[in-house]
Structure 1
Amino acid sequence: MTGRVLSLQVGAAATVPWRGRRVPSAIVKKPVAGRIGLSATGFAGDEQADLTVHGGPDKAVCCFAREHQLALGEELQHRFDPGAFGENLTIEGLADAAVHIGDTYTLGGAVVQVSQPRGPCFKVAARWGMRTLPRLLSHGLRSGWYLRVLDEGDVGAGDALELVERVSAVSVAEVTRVTYRDRAHAAALEAILAVPELAAQWRDALLVLRERQRLPLGDPVQD
């Protein structure tokens, strides 16, 4: 199973407008020409504005499926270019339902592993002035996913994202579904928690969810 990097983006920490004020964010990212280094903490030149919810080894690389950008563009009558949702890699040929937690891929000169879905937060809405956008992403099971880096290397647009090992039957879309839409699905929740490669922060949120099945509506995990 292989995808392709349509575009690679990095960005600096800045601010975006939100409800009459400006909030820190690095969601605005720009395409990179050529190849750049990928380390355990992410791409060279890429920054995070809020380290409490962004960055770290389990969130070294953010990916988003190009097919979902195009579909959302049609739904909202808006053009979303690669990088529109703050992702580092815009991917062709793979989407959330086909990517599993713990999947290991070669990516250019690097080796990476899927760690968790992306949890769309209000900064996606702030980026585009569309308050419903985070819910459209999460509840539409098209939020994207994060990678951890197993072996560092250089990466560029056009590189293949080639599956070399699959260790679980749990897709990114399934984790997103149980987290945001079907929280009372106990068996599915247990299946997700049984995957050791799931990122610790997401696991902790699901453990809370398991203990409090009647949580009010809202997003327990943000990116």
Structure 2
Amino acid sequence: MKHEQLVSINVGKPTVMEFNQKEIVTSIFKMPVYTLLELDSDGFQGDAQADLKNHGGKDKAVCVYSYGHYPFWEKELGRSLSYGAFGENLTVNGFLETEVCIGDIFQLGSAIVQITQPRQPCFKLSARYQSPEMPIKVQQTGFTGFYLRVLQPGKVHFENQLILLRAHPQAITVAFANRVMHHDKNDYDGIEKLLSVEELSSSWRNTFEKRLLGIKIDSSERLTGRSQRERQETQ
């Protein structure tokens, strides 16, 4: 894999919707843009995040998702999907999680970007598709997509290609990172291997370092949108 054509660039602003009988603010609804866009370390011009704790930031400036996964989800959800269906900024051909690696560097228009971590699915996918199991299914399939940091700001057009400039020498795939994070949580050799990748995002580094120390992290609120207090009240 050397380069692939973009399918779509998608941006959006926070909007309000109802989920679990309460209002939530989300930026998961993104629309394709067909003009030249500025891209800097905070992301694309015209894009914004509602939850800066879990989305956005320097390590997660751009979310990427492979169009190759769309047919699977269309069958799973029983509906057709438009570009940006997973809240991604870049809908791309190829670039599957089994092919790309943490630390890989790409040319994108006149910008230069780098893979930092897999995308972690959250409950807002459930809200968008009225499918409570959606985040878990994304984890189980490994069809997560991934995030980019911006090493060099520039301008990007949807007709540009994502061109590999440098494959990371450790070649630790996004799929490997997903497996260690979500499935083989006691694979301490795998954790050490991921921590050895200097380009790994700070949030995933923090999670893995805590795991090595035996500190348990509750991610259920991210997956369900319900706080610990809310969960206790329904038990």
Instruction: Answer whether TM exceeds 0.5 for this pair.
Output: yes
**Given that residues 65 and 92 in structure 1 are in contact (C-alpha distance below 8 angstroms), is that contact kept between their aligned partners in structure 2?**
yes
The 8 Å contact of residues 99 and 172 in structure 1, kept in 2 or not, is answered as yes
* Equivalent AA in structure 2 for residue 141 of structure 1: G
Residues 123 and 222, structure 2, Cα contact 8 Å, conserved in 1:
no
The 3 A distance-change label for structure 1 pair 183 and 220 is farther
1:67-126 C-alpha deviation (Å, 9 max, x unpaired)? 112222123322222101100000102111111000000011111000111111101111
Written as runs of structure 1 = structure 2, the 5 A alignment for 1:34-45 is 34-45=35-46
Partner residue in 1 for 2:111: 110
Q: Are 1:83 and 2:80 matched, yes or no?
A: no
Pairing of 1:201-216 with structure 2 (within 5 A): 201-212=203-214, 215=216
Residue 53 of structure 2 is matched in structure 1 by: 52
Secondary structure in 2 matching 1:125: helix
Kept after mapping to 2: 8 A contact 1:61/1:146: yes
User: Counterpart of 1:170?
Assistant: 172
1:125 aligns with 2:152: no
Give the CA deviation at 1:173: 1.1
DSSP-derived class of the 1:178 partner: helix
Query: What amino acid is aligned across from residue 183 of structure 1 in structure 2?
Result: K
Q: Distance in 2 between the 1:212 and 1:189 partners?
A: 13
Contact 1:16/1:23 (8 A) holds in 2: yes
Unaligned runs of at least 5 residues, structure 1: none
Which residue of the partner structure matches residue 15 of structure 2? 14
Distance in structure 2 (CA, Å) of the matches to 1:193 and 1:220: 25
| Residue aligned with 1:130, SS | coil
Distance 1:191 1:41, change over 3 A: same
210 and 221 in structure 1: CA distance in 2 versus 1, 3 angstrom threshold = farther
Counterpart code for 2:127: A
CA distance in structure 2 between the partners assigned to 1:27 and 1:2 by the alignment: 27
Q: State the Cα RMSD in Å.
A: 1.8
Q: Which of 188, 192, 195 matches 1:193?
A: 195
Q: Which amino acid aligns with 1:193?
A: L
> Distance in 1 between the 2:173 and 2:220 partners?
19
Match of 2:228 in 1: none
Q: What CA distance in whole angstroms lies between the structure 2 residues aligned with 1:219 and 1:100?
A: 27
| In structure 1, C-alpha distance between the alignment counterparts of 2:94 and 2:158, rounded to whole Å | 14
The Cα shift of 1:38 comes to 0.4
Amino acid corresponding to residue 22 of structure 1 in structure 2: E
Unaligned runs of at least 5 residues, structure 2: 224-235
| C-alpha displacement of 1:25 | 0.8
* Contact residue 179 and residue 220 of structure 1 kept, 8 A: no
> What is the SS of the residue equivalent to 1:50?
coil
- Are the counterparts in 2 of residues 59 and 148 from structure 1 also a CA contact under 8 Å? yes
Is the Cα–Cα contact under 8 Å of residues 106 and 113 in structure 2 kept in the other structure? yes
Report if aligned partners of 1:202, 1:221 keep a CA contact under 8 Å in 2.
no
Q: Output the amino acid matched with 1:35.
A: L
**What is the aligned length?**
221
Q: Normalising to structure 2: TM-score of the pair?
A: 0.89
Cα distance, 1:43–1:52 mapped onto 2, change above 3 Å: same
Counterparts of 1:137-148 in structure 2 under 5 Å?
137-148=138-149
**What TM-score, normalized to structure 1?**
0.93
Larger Rg: 2
